[in-house]
């Protein structure tokens, strides 16, 4: 269950750091995506370690800073990195960014990540616009006493990823000439990569990519009535499809190579809002 006092303390810290802030969109940057923050006019910044309940990230490629920025005239809160459930500290730091944005009146979130490609049409460097997901971990951040401010007790998940936002991402990718496809994201808790047998099972279930994030934030945001977009960079081929062992270094390297495309796609997306 989520510690609600941690939520209160985190919100108070961010409001104190950014008085008068009114973000229209939140951007969560996953592994390899942190440099996208350079596209924004900087209005302020705070370290995750200075936000109660959030804390420093424990993964290479996650800067661990919250940027208040502006792009195309739109005030945006940019979370440079995320906390993961596999870090063993519960759901609070995972969904805190979404809860803080909800409290600040932000109605839209773009969640990014790096993933392993399962669909044979994918190759490293491709982008996948997430249209649906499969939660493989049998856990949900909404478990616990019902909080009316988080929506209904049994929120509908028919369309978690807002169709209009996905269409905006598609339009931008097409204009930029990027390789992109719609896909279903399979969420594995990690931190171990999947086995070849698991990847075969996920493929049979309809998954196109697999990763260790995004789904908890998406579920929480949808329940709270936010509009959600999901964008994944295929950083490697999944186990059994790849011809070599998997490692996080490959994820970081793919993010480095894709920096210009990642930044251009996010800039285009925000300009279209």
Q: What is the pLDDT of residues 196-243, one digit of tens each?
A: 999 999 999 999 999 999 999 999 999 999 999 999 999 999 988 876
Mean pLDDT of the 110-124 span: 96
Q: What is the pLDDT of residue 60?
A: 56
Tokens, residue 118: 């399962």
Could you report the per-residue pLDDT of 72-103, keeping only the tens digit for each? 999 999 999 999 999 998 999 999 999 999 99
CA distance 35 to 100: 22
Active site residue 232: no
- Cβ–Cβ under 8 Å, residues 261 and 124: no
Strands 74-80 and 25-29: parallel
Among residues 6, 48, 75, 84, the one annotated as catalytic is 84
- Which one is catalytic: 37, 114, 221, 258? 114
Residue 165 pLDDT: 98
Whether 84 is a known active-site residue: answer yes
How high does pLDDT run on average in the chain? 92
pLDDT, mean of residues 246-255: 75
Mean pLDDT of the region 135-150:
92
Q: Identify the active-site residue in 213, 217, 226, 250.
A: 213
Query: Quick check: is 4 catalytic?
Result: no
Mutual angle of helices 92-103 and 215-223, in 10-degree steps: 40
* Catalytic (active site) residue 31: yes
**Tokens representing 79?**
């979370």
* Residue 240 confidence (pLDDT): 85
* Local confidence band at 115 (pLDDT 50, 70, 90 cut-offs): very high
**What mean pLDDT comes out for the span 142-170?**
95
Instruction: Please name the helix (run of DSSP H) or strand (run of DSSP E) that holds residue 138, with its range, or none.
Output: none
The pLDDT score that the predictor gives to residue 59 is: 63
Active site residue 236: yes
Question: Can 226 be counted among the known catalytic residues?
Answer: no
Active site residue 16: no
212 catalytic, yes or no? yes
pLDDT of residue 178: 97
Q: Is the pLDDT higher at 85 or at 253?
A: 85
Cβ atoms of 202 and 118 within 8 Å: the answer is yes
Select which of 45, 56, 72, 87 is catalytic: 87
How would you classify the pairing of strands 209-211 and 108-117?
Answer: antiparallel
Six token digits for residue 256: 């480095």
Instruction: Quickly tell me which residue has 């792009």 as its tokens.
Output: 71
Classify residue 212 by its DSSP letter: S
Q: Which residues is 80 bridged to in the sheet?
A: 29, 65
Q: Using a pLDDT cut of 90, give the percent of the chain over it.
A: 80
Active-site annotation holder among 7, 13, 31, 235 = 31
Least confident of 47-56, 113-122, 183-192: 47-56
Which one is catalytic: 6, 7, 212, 264?
212
Which sign, positive or negative, has the C-alpha torsion 171, 37, 25, 43?
negative
Residue tagged active-site, from 47, 198, 201, 248: 248
Instruction: Tell me, yes or no, if 213 is annotated catalytic.
Output: yes
Pick the catalytic residue: 26, 34, 62, 226? 62
Which residue in the list 113, 218, 236, 254 is annotated as catalytic?
A: 236
Q: What is the spatial distance between Cα 81 and Cα 30, in angstroms, rounded to a whole number?
A: 5
């Amino acid at each position: 269950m989520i510690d609600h006092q941690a939520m209160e303390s985190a919100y108070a810290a961010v409001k104190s750091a950014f008085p008068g802030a009114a973000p229209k969109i939140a951007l969560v940057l996953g592994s390899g995506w942190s440099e996208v923050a350079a596209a924004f006019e900087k209005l302020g910044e705070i370290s995750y370690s200075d936000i109660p309940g959030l804390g420093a990230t424990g993964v290479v490629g996650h800067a661990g800073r919250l940027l208040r920025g502006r792009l195309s005239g739109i005030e945006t809160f940019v979370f440079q990195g995320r906390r993961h459930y596999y870090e063993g500290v519960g759901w609070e730091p995972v969904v805190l960014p979404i809860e803080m944005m909800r409290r600040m009146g932000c109605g839209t979130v773009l969640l990014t990540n790096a993933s392993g490609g399962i669909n044979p049409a994918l190759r490293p460097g491709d982008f996948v616009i997430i249209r649906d997901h499969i939660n493989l971990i049998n856990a949900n951040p909404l478990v616990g006493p019902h909080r009316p401010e988080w929506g209904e007790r049994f929120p509908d998940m028919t369309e978690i990823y807002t169709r209009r936002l996905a269409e905006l991402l598609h339009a931008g990718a097409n204009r930029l000439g990027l390789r992109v496809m719609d896909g279903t994201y399979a969420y594995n808790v990690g931190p171990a990569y999947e086995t070849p047998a698991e990847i075969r099972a996920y493929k049979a279930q309809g998954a196109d990519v697999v990763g260790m994030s995004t789904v908890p934030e998406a579920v929480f945001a949808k329940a709270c009535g936010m509009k959600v977009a999901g964008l994944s960079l295929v950083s490697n081929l999944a186990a059994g499809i790849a011809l070599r062992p998997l490692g996080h270094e490959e994820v970081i390297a793919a993010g480095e190579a894709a920096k210009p495309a990642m930044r251009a796609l996010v800039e285009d997306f925000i300009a279209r809002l």
